[in-house]
Amino acid sequence: MQADKDLCDVMATPHGKRMVWRILDHCGPMRSTFDKHSDRVSAYLEGQRSIAVWLIAELGAADPDAFADLIRFMQQPVAKSATDDAEDDGAA
């Protein structure tokens, strides 16, 4: 499927991995969506979380190892420069 290939292409670059991680972090797939003061806030947070759950499922469909690879990548020290990223992408 083209969408799977497209997602694999995104995940093949350090830039793509960082962007997917930012989306997942923003959507909070592992955070509680309960808000004792507002059902609307809970619904909003659950909507965000559902996007993250969907994206994780899409990663798994495109490449069963993609999510684990993403976690490993994001746990690496951030010692690379922008020049290193350009070399990784074949732009240098």
Q: From CA 33, how far away is CA 23, in angstroms rounded?
A: 17
Burial class (CB in 10 A: 0-12, 13-18, 19+), 71: exposed
Binned at pLDDT 50, 70 and 90, residue 78 comes out as confident
* Domain spans in the chain, listed from the N-terminal domain onward: 2-77
For residues 16 and 88, is the Cβ–Cβ distance under 8 A?
A: no
Q: From CA 67, how far away is CA 8, in angstroms rounded?
A: 11
- State what percent of residues in the chain have pLDDT above 90: 82
Instruction: Encode pLDDT of 31-58 as tens digits.
Output: 999 999 999 999 999 999 999 999 999 9
pLDDT at position 90? 62
pLDDT at position 51? 97
Contacts of 61 by beta carbon, 8 Å cutoff, 6+ apart: 4
pTM across the whole model:
0.80
For residues 28 and 49, is the Cβ–Cβ distance under 8 A?
A: yes
Residue of 44 and 91 predicted with greater confidence: 44
Smallest Cα–Cα separation from 20: which of 44, 49, 55, 53?
A: 55
